Amino acid sequence: MSDRTVLDMFRLDGRVAIVTGASSGLGAVFARALAEAGADVVLGARRAERLAETVTAVEEVGRRALAVRTDVTRPEDCQALVDAAVAEFGTVDVLVNNAGVGTAVPATRETPEQFREVLDVNLHGCYWMAQACARVMRPGSSIVNVSSVLGLTTAGLPQAAYAASKAGLIGLTRDLAQQWTGRKGIRVNALAPGFFTSEMTDAYAEGYLESQLPRVLVGRMGHPQELAAALVFLVSEAGGYVTGTTLPVEGGMLTS
């Protein structure tokens, strides 16, 4: 490693990455960032018609892309996504478990169906994807589960299902790292984003984000590229000594 520069350690040349929830928002940003770092990218999402824009974004920076309609709540879809990646590119080196949904329903009114739907996507779907990828990943591979700062704190909304799913994902991350890092050479980490522009934040009530900004030490929402940079660190050689951890990227919100 001594003949490589620090910046070289962030490169992903020759790697193949899967990104779920890649049809828009942070998933699309993650896909382009991984491509900019040198990876070919396999894109999964339920809204297959919207994956075309992400394919274009990856190809614009000179990397190859493959889009596969995927519902992560279906283990068979997760396996099909991995099978398609291996058939097209020969391997899977990186998994970004980004697919997720959120609700803001008071706990006394949330139905069992609403609660289960959130956990099915945010927690169960990540597990099915991680299982399918770990079966084919080589030593040196990396999985990043996109959790949330709301898995570590609260933020003034009734989000029991969302918070439970994201906290559960942090626990899942620790356990999979314990199981796979030593035995398989697969690092498993989580990102815990604070407030970043996305479809989820677009749905918040007017004034909600402004009410939370006093808790954020840097005094603003995050830029998606800042989160993508943290992701590239975790999945690249630069993060090679990091596993089983959750990296908060939240502008200091957790200090309040």
pLDDT of residue 243 exceeding 70: yes
- Provide the token pair at 82: 């991995």
Assess if residue 1 is contained within a domain: no
pLDDT top residue among 234 and 208: 234
Residue 4, pLDDT score: 84
Dist CA 62 CA 53 (whole Å): 15
Q: Domain of 213: which CATH number?
A: 3.40.50.720
Assess if residue 236 is contained within a domain: yes
How many independent structural domains does the chain possess? 1
Assess if residue 255 is contained within a domain: no
Q: What is the pLDDT of residues 141-182, one digit of tens each?
A: 999 999 999 999 988 889 999 999 999 999 999 999 999 999
**For residue 157, what is the DSSP state?**
S
Assess if residue 2 is contained within a domain: no
Measured torsion, CA atoms of residues 93, 15, 78, 85, in degrees rounded to the nearest 10: -130
**pTM, whole model, 2 decimals?**
0.94
What amino acid positions are annotated as catalytic residues? 162
Assess if residue 256 is contained within a domain: no
Assess if residue 125 is contained within a domain: yes
Range of the domain at 192: 7-248
pLDDT of residue 91 exceeding 70: yes
pLDDT band at 1 (very low <50, low <70, confident <90, very high): low
Q: What is the mean pLDDT of the chain?
A: 94
Assess if residue 107 is contained within a domain: yes
Burial class (CB in 10 A: 0-12, 13-18, 19+), 162: buried
Q: How far is CA 22 from the centre of its chain?
A: 10
Assess if residue 253 is contained within a domain: no
